[in-house]
Chain A
Amino acid sequence: MSVDKKKAENSAAASFDVEALSALYRTMSLIRHVETALTRLFANGEVPGFIHLSIGQEGVAAGVASALLKQDSLATTHRGHGHVLARGMDVTGFMKEIMGREGGLCKGRGGSMHVADLSLGILGANGIVGAGIPIALGSAMAHKARKTGGVAVAFFGDGAMAEGVLHETLNMASLWKTPLLLVCENNGWSEFSPTSRQFAAKLEKLAEAFSVTYAQVDGNDVQAVAEATRIATDQLRAGKGPYVLECSTTRVRGHFEGDAQKYRDAGELESVHEHDPLTAARKLLQEAGVDTAAIDQAIHAEVEAATEAARADALPRPEDAIRDVYTQTGKQEARA
């Protein structure tokens, strides 16, 4: 390591708020530990269905969530574990849901692709690519109409850029100056295909076409994401209209867990760890004297406990399965 580079790193280390970065690191570590646990649980057959992991993308989830306030809402994707955990979803309730248990946040009806917690403004992960985008638009409309001061965030992957609802939503959000933050996690992959083979445009140009503010940030730099989101949400809260934040990031795992990713170059997969957002943050924190191993250890214990609690929880009973298709009110009269 050259002296010059060392100097530059020292100055970078001096420029950040250690406490803030520690909090961001803690969130990223939680997401990483949960999803690493899920790789094993899935391989053991303890997780039903499909899971889509966001390992390598934690910087976006932690950075964006750090700028959100209590009244804000968000809609996310089938690769949304990180977003909901960063937003503060209860880890035990989350694990129980992903493992299809009775005590899951959604009583085992939703699972990985539909996990939600309305009390945290989480309007759901979504099994339909792009579908959360217009739902977040409606949520932003509600924030504006109800004057909650909140913003709505739509997380989407670059695969969703080809969905018509993104284009429709950009149009409406712009026309109405809606407090909508569109966060694209661009990992270069649309399911099993490189996005370069799926989408002819650039998100920046698309935002420009609809007069929507656009910013691009390195999604592997959690501090940069946090700062970029703060700038975006300031604009949104000031009523200046929607905002597109494109975060470049890396998908480490397959489209779904169990996908051998034979469609990817070995070289690409070998180098993914060089961009790891946790490694970068850990280095800065360690240089500032923070014991990241202690953070990781505490989180590891928390995730282990949540996993054990999920294992111990009952399976949902078939006789309860039909509940909640409709609201049971007994009050369906025209007038109260």
Chain B
Amino acid sequence: MNGTTEMRYVNAVTKALADSMAEDASVIVMGEDVAHAGGSFKATRGLLEQFGEERVIDTPISESSITSAAVGAALTGLKPVVEIMFMDFITLSMDALVNQAAKARYMFGGQGSVPMVLRTPHGGGLSAGPQHSQCLEAWLAHVPGLKVVCPSNPQDAYSLLRAAIADPDPVMFIEHKAMYAQKGQVDTAQTVRIGEARIAREGRDVTLVTYGATVGICLKAAEELATEGVEAEVLDLRSIQPWDKAAVLESLSRTHRAVVVHEAVQAFGVGAEIVATIADEGFDELDAPVLRVAAPFMPAPFASSLEKGYVVTADRVKDAVRKTLA
């Protein structure tokens, strides 16, 4: 039987949660409005009916303690999946993430681990304003002990979430709120390894290194560049911590040019780490400086006209590619 079905990104998340919970009784889902309301983006819809109030838990609006409780539950035999409604709200969970979840295994000398997942949507495109649109993944990727993944399509939303829940360490699972409605084929038998990138489009002239929602923007830019005779390779990192350095360097050894693209603010971002690594370990392969396309150093604005200028566009990606080829 073919296990492949078309579904929306958000439903792939729900399916991964449901399948993990059905397989493993220690998996629980907790967060604000995840049970009766089915989640603010409906990612947990139907789970309460299927698994009951003991495993699908509506919490008060207490991000700090919800996340810390997940750490304690994980250390006592559960595999909690916490939903934080918007990534901006992880500011309130930072002690739990940075000082507790990330450190427990290490500072206890390898005794046990913290098998929890924190799911949260980042990104703009919905005019949600400065406190509901941020991409803060670089904060998390900077903390030893946390893993950070960011799916760019429904298949990865399913397979990466299954991998995150199965993982013994704390995994930050970052969704994109503007992608929830995106449709795609999902094969539930397909597995993804955390830390392994994917070539989303092959090309010989330049490597576009990206993840999450900007994968789609890079693919669009690549198709348009192809009409100009430029073949861009699009590398979807999928996992930001650990990230697939080998795949990036290997692609670079074929294309000799690279542009790193992400929606988050450019300064001190994920792209900075990738570009620095390329400069350090891939320098001899470079025929041009590595460029970054990312958000300007400012909060995400509210008005549509302003937000359009803030988020990454295919045109900005194309401009950067042309610059590396010039």
Contacts and interface: CB of A to CB of B under 8 A. Distances in A.
A83 to B, nearest CB: 16
B69 A138 contact: yes
Contacts of A325: 105-106, 144-145
A190 B118 CA distance: 33
A162 to B, nearest CB: 14
Nearest to B71: A135
B69 A134 contact: yes
Contacts of A140: 72
B255 to A, nearest CB: 28
Given A131-B99, A171-B62, A333-B166, A124 B108 contact: yes
Contacts of A331: 166
A75 B162 CA distance: 30
Contacts of B64: 134, 164-165, 168
A99 interface: no
Interface stretch (B36-44, B190-198, B217-225, B228-236): B190-198
A124 B104 contact: yes
Interface stretch (B52-60, B132-140, B295-303): B52-60
B100 interface: yes
A141 B72 contact: yes
Given A138-B69, A324-B105, A106 B111 contact: yes
A116 interface: yes
B72 A142 contact: yes
A57 interface: no
Given A138-B70, A168-B64, A333-B163, A109 B75 contact: no
A334 interface: yes
Contact of A118 (B54, B75, B103): B75
Interface in A319-336: 323-327, 329, 331-336
A53 B127 CA distance: 53
Given A136-B72, A326-B169, A333 B77 contact: no
A123 B166 contact: no
Interface in B149-167: 158-163, 166-167
Most buried by A among B65, B75, B168: B65
Contact of B73 (A116, A141, A171, A326): A141
A110 B107 contact: yes
Nearest to B101: A135
Given A114-B108, A165-B64, A336-B166, 11 more contacts: A105-B108, A114-B103, A116-B111, A124-B108, A140-B72, A146-B26, A168-B64, A172-B69, A325-B105, A329-B168, A335-B166
Chain A, interface size category, equals 35 or more
B177 interface: no
Contact of B78 (A119, A146, A327, A336): A146
Given A141-B78, A325-B145, A326-B145, A135 B72 contact: yes
B107 A106 contact: yes
B68 interface: yes
Interface of B: 26, 28, 54-55, 57, 59-60, 62, 64-65, 68-78, 80, 95-96, 99-100, 103-113, 144-145, 147, 158-163, 166-169, 189-195
A323 B75 CA distance: 19
Contacts of A220: none
Interface of A: 73, 75, 104-110, 114, 116-119, 121, 123-124, 126-128, 131, 133-146, 148, 152, 164-165, 168-169, 171-172, 175-176, 323-327, 329, 331-336
Contact of A334 (B59, B159, B169): B159
B219 to A, nearest CB: 23
A267 B28 CA distance: 54
9 contacts: A73-B76, A106-B108, A107-B109, A118-B75, A128-B95, A131-B68, A138-B74, A168-B60, A332-B194
Nearest to B170: A326
Most buried by A among B111, B158, B162: B111
Given A145-B54, A172-B65, A104 B75 contact: no
Contacts of A165: 64-65, 68
A29 B107 CA distance: 28
B55 A332 contact: no
Nearest to B144: A325
Contacts of A73: 75-76
A176 to B, nearest CB: 8
Contacts of A138: 68-76, 80
Contact of B193 (A104, A117, A126, A333): A333
A110 B189 CA distance: 41
A327 B168 contact: yes
Given A145-B54, A332-B194, A334-B163, A137 B69 contact: yes
A110 B103 CA distance: 9
B159 to A, nearest CB: 5
B240 to A, nearest CB: 14
A104 B77 CA distance: 24
A196 to B, nearest CB: 26
